[in-house]
A and B are shown apart, each in its own frame.
Chain A
Amino acid sequence: MTVSPPAASHYLRLDPRAKLYLLLLANLVMFFHVSTRAEAVLVALVIVPLLTAGRVRMGVRLAVTYAVLLAIGLWAGAAVMDGVGTAGGEQTWVHVVGALCVGLRMMLPCFITGAYAFSTTSVSEFVCALRRMRVPESVVIPCMVVIRFFPTIIGDYRRIRDAMALRGLATGRWSLLRHPAQSLEFVLVPLLMNATMVSRDLSVAALTKGLGTRGVHTSMTEIRMRWFDWVAMVVCTIPLALGIGGVL
């Protein structure tokens, strides 16, 4: 999740709630097994906001991946159609590849919208959206902490590995796998010790800055649904509706 909102950005970015709606749509497409055509149309549609948000490379990469999977899936389908008389073993192979590609392709709409939501939403927008959707503070606060604490875990892990190397503990390439329980203990104990200390210090910092205050907590970041949010939501719903209705 990006941290800083590109404040003076000229890119067109959707409201976080619109992004969540797109995510839900992508999930429904997978859930209802709508036709491949409807799915492809939806993918093409959700790639657009990714491009307008300035994530051109990511958008192109995902689009190409989808196209390749789609092509292989269609080829496998065609091969199965043609190869009625061929040996069973070969068919099984084609089936496995085909099923794998179809399966991965089906998960891609979710993945694309997820990548879009994740990479174009700032933390404060995310938190603001959660609060606007009346998610209780008891969920919002842990979410903020997760985002805050994740980089700390990575830094801690590096330092613990350094300390282990200095002590000659679990050194070598495969040592972590050779003594998994022991290695897990060596990594987890300092990691969790530090985590409990950080959670205490964060509590202190949060309490002195009023996180425990009763009443409405506002956000500096303003989010609002604008016309293009509604347009995006309606347009992206069309392929799903047509797909379920069996038109597309």
Chain B
Amino acid sequence: MSQPGSNPNSAPTTTTPAKSPASSKRGLAVPDLITIGVFSALYFAMVAVATLASTLLLAGFGSIFLPAIAALISGCVFMLMVARVGKFGGITIMGMVIGLFLFVSGHFVLSFIASIVFPLAADLIARAGKYRNRIGLLISYVVFSYGLTGPILPLWFMKDAYVASLEARGKDTAYIAGVFAHINTGTFFISMAAIAVCALVGGWFGQRLCAKHFAKAGIA
């Protein structure tokens, strides 16, 4: 794998095949992997910005909106990466690399699993549209954005842990559970819905930017 397109023709005139579905079946070559790496770094930077923004805006518990804010601003990165790579595996690997870096930097291990499963699904959706269908890419981006829920999952364990620690001391927890009930289900659904909405807006914005700039400049 990861071989650049070697040219088997030894005829005097060798014309490399035009960029077409034929070339996209060859799998990921080194230049594709490098493109994926560059865009993963950009996505990672976007996540860093989103972390900063959500922490500043909503201090403390604001991080539950981290995936949503990241989805809002990273659409363009995702869309351009897909346009540049246009092969199966690109989205999945980007998710895996992000997940790996999140895991190594001390995020919850589930974040690694989330960042494989959702991008893989996103990749399959995008492939169904041959990486060109705008609606397909938009849906793909929404699914991809859920890959970032990993880092915030522990927030929902926190309450359980707190309750458990009190239970361990023989405390009646009905009251405490009541206090946190709305934090649990309410915020969970708000956070998940926010991801979908923000990803739609961010993805649309990304597609618009791609068409306006990168397609026009001839690089997407």
Contacts and interface: CB of A to CB of B under 8 A. Distances in A.
Let me know if chains A and B touch directly in the complex, using CB atoms closer than 8 Å: yes
Interface of A: 20, 23-24, 26-28, 30-31, 33, 35-36, 73, 77, 80-81, 92, 95, 98-100, 102-103, 106-107, 110-115, 117-118, 126, 136-139, 141-146, 148-150, 153-154, 181, 184-185, 188-189, 191-193, 195-196, 198-200, 202-203, 206-207, 211-212, 214
B205 A181 contact: yes
8 contacts: A23-B103, A23-B106, A138-B2, A145-B33, A148-B37, A149-B42, A192-B77, A203-B31
Contacts of A193: 213-214, 217, 219
Contact of B4 (A77, A153, A212): A212
Given A80-B171, A192-B76, A142 B37 contact: yes
Contacts of B35: 196, 199, 203
Contacts, number: 192
Contacts of B77: 188, 192
Contacts of A112: 106
B188 interface: no
B34 to A, nearest CB: 5
Interface of B: 1-4, 28-31, 33-42, 44-45, 60, 73, 76-77, 80, 84, 89, 93-94, 96-97, 100-101, 103-110, 154-155, 157-162, 164-166, 168-169, 171, 176, 179-180, 205, 209, 213-214, 217, 219
A212 B154 contact: no
Contacts of A200: 31
Nearest to A137: B2
Given A185-B209, A192-B76, A142 B107 contact: no
Q: Is the interface of B mostly helix, strand, loop or mixed?
A: helix
A80 B154 contact: no
Contacts of A102: 158, 161-162, 165
Given A138-B33, A143-B100, A115 B106 contact: yes
Across chains A and B, which 6 residue pairs bring their CB atoms closest together, nearest first? A114-B106, A145-B37, A103-B158, A142-B37, A203-B31, A27-B109
A214 B3 contact: yes
A202 B31 CA distance: 8
Contacts of B30: 141, 203, 206-207, 211-212
Contacts of A191: 42
A30 B93 CA distance: 27
A110 B104 CA distance: 9
Contacts of B180: 95, 99
Contacts of A114: 104-107
Nearest to B97: A142
A193 to B, nearest CB: 7
A136 B1 contact: yes
A149 B106 contact: no
A99 B162 contact: yes
A103 B64 CA distance: 14
A33 B161 contact: yes
B139 to A, nearest CB: 22
Contacts of B166: 77, 80
